[in-house]
Chain A
Amino acid sequence: EDQVTQSPEALRLQEGESSSLNCSYTVSGLRGLFWYRQDPGKGPEFLFTLYSAGEEKEKERLKATLTKKESFLHITAPKPEDSATYLCAVLLGGGGSNYKLTFGKGTLLTVNP
């Protein structure tokens, strides 16, 4: 069964303390891997799409990378405003359901000042 697992479930950092979030997946025919940020009471906000192993995307303090089995979201020198839940989702290829996002449970990131 296709599965997306995110770790850790929760992460506390001090401001400026860099770290990484992990998203591992056991799917066949990956068409894309998506990272979203979700603030309390809000919907997921799109951050990045990664399409193939070796690809990297950057936005401000965030950098996403992709291998054949997992993706990392690296956070460099985080600030308190980076506190949120970070969700990873995969989109499968092939016929049938090549539009349906399968999400992990998310990582709750808290950055203390």
Chain B
Amino acid sequence: GAGVSQSPRYKVAKRGQDVALRCDPISGHVSLFWYQQALGQGPEFLTYFQNEAQLDKSGLPSDRFFAERPEGSVSTLKIQRTQQEDSAVYLCASSFQGQTNQPQHFGDGTRLSIL
């Protein structure tokens, strides 16, 4: 498929465990974004990459959240020592070039549940 691919689609973890969420953006898209969406809310910005450079991580809720995109394509969002408040849908989006007004295209997200 040509869209943004995220895995796993669902993740259940116990409080205190570490989790890793993967995003495979649209081929050729320079910019990659992570958003967090709570139930009944719109997505909220977490972090932004242009190629392999993380240009903005201001939305990451705490230092337990870490994102990387080492080769400028696939990205991983890692959450250490998960807490119940981390339960949400994590959405990845990509665009051809981030610092323009081109639309961001979203994957279907990873639904994370922390028990």
Contact = CB atoms under 8 A, between A and B. Distances in A.
Contacts of B107: 43
Contact of B108 (A32, A42, A49): A42
B7 interface: no
B72 interface: no
Interface in B12-31: 31
Given A99-B48, A100-B48, A31 B43 contact: no
A105 B43 CA distance: 8
A28 interface: no
Q: How large is the interface on B (under 10, 10 to 19, 20 to 34, 35 or more residues)?
A: 20 to 34
B62 interface: no
Contacts of A106: 41-42
B106 A44 contact: yes
B54 interface: no
B43 A99 contact: no
Contact of B109 (A43, A51, A97, A100): A43
Interface string A96-109: 01111111111000
Interface string B94-115: 0000110101111111010000
Contacts of B31: 99
A105 B41 contact: yes
A58 interface: no
Contacts of B105: 46
Interface residues of A, number: 26
A69 B13 CA distance: 43
Interface in A33-54: 34, 36, 41-46, 49, 51
A37 to B, nearest CB: 11
Contacts of B101: 31-32, 49, 51, 91
Contact of B42 (A91, A98, A100, A105): A105
Interface of B: 4, 6, 31, 33, 35, 40-45, 48, 56, 58-59, 91, 93, 98-99, 101, 103-109, 111
Ranked nearest first, the 6 interchain pairs of A and B with the lowest CB-CB distance are A103-B42, A43-B106, A32-B101, A99-B98, A43-B108, A46-B103
